[in-house]
Structure 1
């Protein structure tokens, strides 16, 4: 089977969020299962920098070519490899759309996404190598299945190509003015409630949902939640209508990249059978974040985009009470100014007990996963979540709200079974109670050893997830 994974970000070439981790790890797991997999992504400025830094091979595959859009801008195609593999990564280049320092920094995100999507399809045509399955991800590639079922419906090279469309977060749909239909040169008849029209606008993600052979999201629970008004973001009716092809496949994490026994991003290594390194990592984290170095005090970590979705209003409500319970708190993240300010003020209010770094630092993130005792993730909604998976892998116990992928990966500890703690009602009192419960077990050393062992032996590898995606690819081919 020949599969093309299409994504706006791919780790380690470009990373903003969890999509990059998925797009970087899934192809490696598919390759191990004998799948002929390729990746298509934009040739962002950040990617150019990383190709040089990682000393990856780079060659031009296609000189400038026209895309048939309402623009004179042309695309070129380059090829490199996914680091540590021979998986080809095809890079769509255009100075106008992909020259920003930020992956999503284009002044016109709609045009940028359309340009990239059309360039991928035209590149496949020009290379003359058909794919059995094109796996598109998130709203930026939502129009790809639309193009295949309309503009390219009579193209022989795509006649047997099935599409799988993955929703990583329904909250970001790619909603733009109807005029973008003209830029995309899509047929006007598509702009209706049964097509890509959405309250008078063009909705990229809606197009992906309606026109793909298989639609999936990144956890079984979230696949059910998004069919309800509470989580459906006004697309619940469309998702209900497509429920016969809607699936939930839980993401995995790269177990080679994220291995506490060998991870070069953490000071000391450890394993489930020898935890000494973890306690040294905790001491180093306390020093780095300006906390009092006390081995017996519990450290609660939080790594997040600082936005409402992540349940940070609940954290704000309870954190001063939690600090009075004799804990330390470390935070890494950036986002809404109100949260950046409130957590910065918390650090000033509790010197030596709270350490806050506003920004994004992938290496510090890893040191927080390794050096904390607990990891906080009380999300309002969470399609999958990777933070709790990383924390489990590193023996740091997640405290979560049971929603989406958090409900699928964290099981309540009862003194014997389970790998974390959680609550369901979106209420700060329930968060506070859950943290207190976690601290109770922290002081029961034998129970804590059991809990850490349960966490570190939880299987959240891509091996399991890749097998599920293979099933979806075969279903997509059958449906197509």
Structure 2
């Protein structure tokens, strides 16, 4: 049975990207097409989105959508149909999708993403001629009001699915905005949109959708606990029968060391020696010492407490007494940015940092680093460790969420069985990370063991094939349940 799905999200790679959400939203439609699912995606028409989509047609118009005129522009990108919500008063800005040039959240974000959800709900009910979705798939808090709008519309509606990419970001706004957000008075109850006296966008979606997913099986269990649920664990326990975890995949056309045009030398599992050229290029690009024997660690990440980079900073003095180098790109918390920049100054040629993000440098780090570090305190899924597997950069990860689910720890039994793909550590502390780094260094000095870890990782299936099968089955189950 073929299905039609409307995906609603705040970003979609390569049109607009701040993190892994965009990669998932961008890659999933083509994978679902192989499962008989047609996906069309609604995203805000940020300036870069309209530039990329180019010519198209207007398929839906609004005289007033939360403060100004708006319309839906239908375009296509890489064969996928994309609906861009054009609302100049909400999206035509110089900053990023969520914050201005200074990193300050836009004060009208409640309306910017309520507009996205409102348009999504209307399209889901057939507002665009010729497209009647069987299901609406809302990604994260920015789209999560869509199931609420559908619920309170009182009319026929498709099945609704909400995916949590990171439960730490929930979208909470003052209850005084209820009427302005076009929510009825009766919605402000515990079983509706009310959340600790405020309006909870993510909470509303999780309460009122048909199915809930998150991006790894372990994270699905973790968020039902007070430690990881960020205040929503009670709701998720109550709805546990509709919660599931589906691992993310990666776009293997974009992340493929055998064809990657962003790296100096392409290679595959049969030509691992060629990888040394990328390692040398990484050292040169980052002005690290041209040392073939140094243990070269790579990091590509948002710099935050969640991602555990304060633990890496705490370990740098000890690492710098050993034969170790670090190449890092990322941005985020100012004190972490300043800490890594200070380390770069203290250890020239050993530590090199680039504040910000570069797709080219991200590919180069994966293709050139010996090991890739992801020491998160919690991690819904993570994509960078999957890229690392593809590129033969052995992952060193904390034993949480999707990191736990995707990396096979090189413990003694796994090593004997020849199935290990990386190094895990637990609990997520600086001391446990120090032990994992020492263990990884030990493996690195044993070239045969290290090569086996690389080969195992590169042979791991991290494609969207299996996740797409699970999403397709979930859609069909949700549609069937609605009758």
Coarse TM-score class (shorter-chain normalised): over 0.9
> Does 2:122 correspond to 1:122?
yes
CA deviation string 1:68-98 (max 9, x = no partner)? x6x4412111122132x2x210100011101
Residue 312 of structure 2 is aligned with which of 315, 330, 333?
Answer: 315
CA spacing shift, 1:186–1:439, aligned 2, 3 Å: same
Residue 147 of structure 1 is aligned with which of 127, 146, 149?
Answer: 149
Report the Cα offset of residue 123 of structure 1. 4.2
Report the Cα offset of residue 411 of structure 1. 0.9
Provide structure 1 residue ranges, at least 5 long, that are not aligned to the other structure: none
> Does 2:463 correspond to 1:461?
yes
> Does 2:355 correspond to 1:358?
yes
> For the aligned residues, what is the CA RMSD?
1.3
Equivalences for 1:227-238 in 2 at 5 Å? 227-238=224-235
> Does 2:89 correspond to 1:88?
no
Compare 384-393 and 40-49 and name the one that shifted more: 40-49
Report the Cα offset of residue 109 of structure 1. 0.8
Report the Cα offset of residue 178 of structure 1. 0.7
> Does 2:342 correspond to 1:345?
yes
- Paired residue secondary structure (1:431): helix
| 2:63 aligned residue | 66
> Does 2:198 correspond to 1:196?
no
CA deviation string 1:218-240 (max 9, x = no partner)? 00000000000100101110000
Report the Cα offset of residue 420 of structure 1. 0.2
- Paired residue secondary structure (2:424): strand
Report the Cα offset of residue 417 of structure 1. 2.1
Report the Cα offset of residue 322 of structure 1. 1.4
| 2:394 aligned residue | 397
CA distance in structure 2 between the aligned counterparts of 1:301 and 1:335, rounded to whole angstroms: 17
CA spacing shift, 1:449–1:228, aligned 2, 3 Å: same
Corresponding pairs, count: 466
Compare 312-321 and 243-252 and name the one that shifted more: 312-321
CA distance in structure 2 between the aligned counterparts of 1:385 and 1:270, rounded to whole angstroms: 24
- Paired residue secondary structure (1:446): helix
CA deviation string 1:369-416 (max 9, x = no partner)? 111000111101000000100001100001010100000001112432
Report the Cα offset of residue 57 of structure 1. 4.9
CA deviation string 1:335-387 (max 9, x = no partner)? 11100000001011111111100111111111111110001111010000001
| 2:74 aligned residue | 79
Task: Indicate if the aligned counterparts of 2:148 and 2:204 stay in contact, CA closer than 8 A.
Answer: yes
Equivalences for 1:148-167 in 2 at 5 Å? 148-151=150-153, 153-155=154-156, 158=157, 161-167=158-164
CA distance in structure 1 between the aligned counterparts of 2:404 and 2:228, rounded to whole angstroms: 15
> Does 2:305 correspond to 1:324?
no
Report the Cα offset of residue 126 of structure 1. 3.0
| 1:427 aligned residue | 429
Task: Indicate if the aligned counterparts of 2:5 and 2:40 stay in contact, CA closer than 8 A.
Answer: yes
CA distance in structure 2 between the aligned counterparts of 1:271 and 1:455, rounded to whole angstroms: 12
The TM-score, its normalising length taken from structure 1, stands at 0.95
- Paired residue secondary structure (2:90): coil
> Does 2:211 correspond to 1:214?
yes
CA distance in structure 1 between the aligned counterparts of 2:193 and 2:155, rounded to whole angstroms: 21
> Does 2:275 correspond to 1:278?
yes
CA deviation string 1:200-245 (max 9, x = no partner)? 1100001110111100100000000000010010111000011010
Task: Indicate if the aligned counterparts of 2:35 and 2:472 stay in contact, CA closer than 8 A.
Answer: no
CA deviation string 1:458-480 (max 9, x = no partner)? 11110111001011111211332
Task: Indicate if the aligned counterparts of 1:114 and 1:143 stay in contact, CA closer than 8 A.
Answer: yes
| 1:477 aligned residue | 479
- Paired residue secondary structure (1:184): coil
Task: Indicate if the aligned counterparts of 2:297 and 2:324 stay in contact, CA closer than 8 A.
Answer: yes
Provide structure 2 residue ranges, at least 5 long, that are not aligned to the other structure: 100-105
Equivalences for 1:98-109 in 2 at 5 Å? 98-101=91-94, 102-105=96-99, 106-109=106-109
Report the Cα offset of residue 63 of structure 1. 6.0
Equivalences for 1:375-414 in 2 at 5 Å? 375-413=372-410, 414=412
The TM-score, its normalising length taken from structure 2, stands at 0.94
Report the Cα offset of residue 120 of structure 1. 2.5
Residue 133 of structure 1 is aligned with which of 115, 127, 135?
Answer: 135
